């Protein structure tokens, strides 16, 4: 205080100026931090009102219809995705499920920029996907179970080298990632083998390695386990878990196989007729809507089953094989009863996704009625 009393007026003014400036700087820094935090709260994938409408040409049969179509064309509009609102956080493993034609693949194609939306907002890692900027394409990957991105005439090692050049991956980073995934997927003995000679399970492993070489932030998987046997499917699920956990890769998985969704995804989004009809916890989804189990059993001889006491019904029957539907809570009781007949083979499966979606859709319609 003595310093301020003895100081000249000009010095006091300058001191006050410094105090105000320092406080202003601190406020600005706080605002910037708040803005950064607010920006980080935005999901790595965000859509609002996302819609895709296809316009399809309708033509009458025969040559007359073809001639009429030259002068007057009739079209119909089909909404593949309608008013889709979705937010996915970084590091999430989310399941996208629904029956054939529900709009799952169309949604993934819009999120990756393969097709442009008709309307609505889409933001993936801060980019508008359909601009197809190189900076965006280097940060995501997509694997489709029915479409290969590999080069069938090359060896797997040469194919990975080609992807290194396409994505401009630094040599050291490429070697580290390649060694990591080759070890993880146990495919060292396949590196000098021509891609066309690989089995389906081996090819899917190489598809995933090729997709993950450039360290994508987001990985889109469309039916990655389709056609795989039980062992290969289980291995694929373990690999995906490891990638999500170790690399913090955000994964969006579409699948008809309920085992994939239950084992991998904490959160599920159910789509039907282009609309989102459920978005929430996967366990809660199955607890609430998956009421029954399917038991496929083959007997050594013809048997007659009394399933009324456990609420079961025979869904299919062919020779000595029966497919039985039972309530989930009675499945253990049903298996114990079936085992009395010494079956040759027995398989327990979850209810088909189509049935689950129908049940959700019916309840949602009833709620809005």
Q: For the chain, how many residues are written? A: 369
- C-alpha to C-alpha distances, 120 to 46, 114, 306, 324, nearest whole angstrom: 11, 16, 55, 45
Q: Provide the pLDDT for residue 213.
A: 92
pLDDT digits (tens, 9 = 90+) for 244-283: 998 899 999 998 777 788 889 999 998 888 899 889 999 8
pLDDT at 239 over 50: yes
- Going by pLDDT thresholds of 50, 70 and 90, the confidence category of residue 172 is very high
How many other CB atoms sit within 10 Å of the CB of residue 6? 8
CB 212 within 8 A of CB 167: no
In this structure, which long-range contacts are made by residues 355-358, counting pairs with CB atoms below 8 Å and at least 24 apart in sequence?
A: 355/292, 356/258, 356/270, 356/285, 356/286, 356/289, 356/290, 357/97, 357/98, 357/99, 357/102, 357/270, 357/272, 357/277
- Going by pLDDT thresholds of 50, 70 and 90, the confidence category of residue 23 is low
What is the phi/psi pair of residue 302, to 5°? -75, 130
pLDDT at 192 over 60: yes
pTM for the model:
0.73
pLDDT at 26 over 60: no
Residue 164, Cβ density class (10 Å: 0-12 exposed, 13-18 middle, ≥19 buried): buried
Longest dimension (CA), the chain: 111
Residue 112, C-beta contacts closer than 8 angstroms, at least 6 positions apart: 124, 129, 140, 142, 220
pLDDT at 145 over 50: yes
| 350-357 mean pLDDT | 73
Q: Which structure tokens are listed for 167?
A: 């994505």
- Going by pLDDT thresholds of 50, 70 and 90, the confidence category of residue 365 is low
């Amino acid at each position: 205080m003595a310093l301020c009393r003895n100081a000249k007026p000009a010095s006091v003014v300058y001191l006050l100026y410094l105090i105000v400036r320092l406080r202003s700087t601190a406020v600005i820094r706080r605002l910037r931090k708040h803005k950064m935090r607010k920006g980080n709260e935005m999901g790595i994938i965000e859509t609002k009102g996302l819609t895709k409408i296809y316009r399809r040409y309708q033509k009458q049969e025969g040559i007359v219809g073809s001639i009429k179509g030259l002068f007057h064309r009739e079209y119909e509009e089909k909404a593949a995705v309608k008013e889709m609102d979705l937010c996915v956080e970084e590091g999430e493993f989310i399941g996208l499920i629904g029956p054939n034609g529900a709009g799952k693949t169309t949604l993934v194609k819009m999120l990756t920029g393969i097709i442009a939306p008709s309307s609505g907002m889409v933001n993936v890692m801060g980019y508008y996907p359909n601009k197809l900027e190189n900076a965006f394409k280097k940060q995501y990957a997509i694997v489709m179970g029915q479409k290969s991105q590999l080069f069938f005439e090359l060896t797997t090692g040469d194919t990975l080298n080609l992807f290194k050049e396409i994505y401009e991956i630094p040599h050291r980073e490429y070697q580290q990632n390649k060694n990591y995934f080759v070890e993880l997927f146990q495919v060292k003995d396949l590196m000098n083998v021509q891609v066309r000679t690989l089995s389906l399970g081996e090819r899917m492993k190489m598809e995933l390695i090729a997709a993950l070489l450039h360290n994508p932030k987001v990985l889109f998987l469309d039916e990655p386990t389709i056609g795989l046997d039980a062992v290969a499917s289980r291995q694929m699920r373990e690999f995906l878990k490891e990638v999500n956990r170790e690399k913090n890769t955000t994964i969006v998985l579409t699948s008809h196989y309920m085992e994939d969704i239950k084992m991998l995804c904490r959160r599920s989004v159910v789509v039907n007729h282009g609309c989102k009809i459920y978005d929430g916890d996967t366990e809660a989804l199955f607890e609430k809507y998956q009421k029954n189990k399917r038991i496929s059993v083959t007997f050594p001889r013809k048997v007659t089953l009394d399933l009324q006491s456990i609420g079961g019904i025979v869904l299919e029957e062919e020779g000595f094989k029966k497919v039985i539907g039972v309530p989930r809570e009675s499945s253990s009781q049903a298996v114990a009863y079936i085992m009395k007949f010494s079956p040759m083979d027995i398989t327990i499966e979850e209810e088909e996704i189509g049935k689950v979606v129908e049940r959700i859709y019916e309840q949602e319609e009833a709620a809005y009625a």
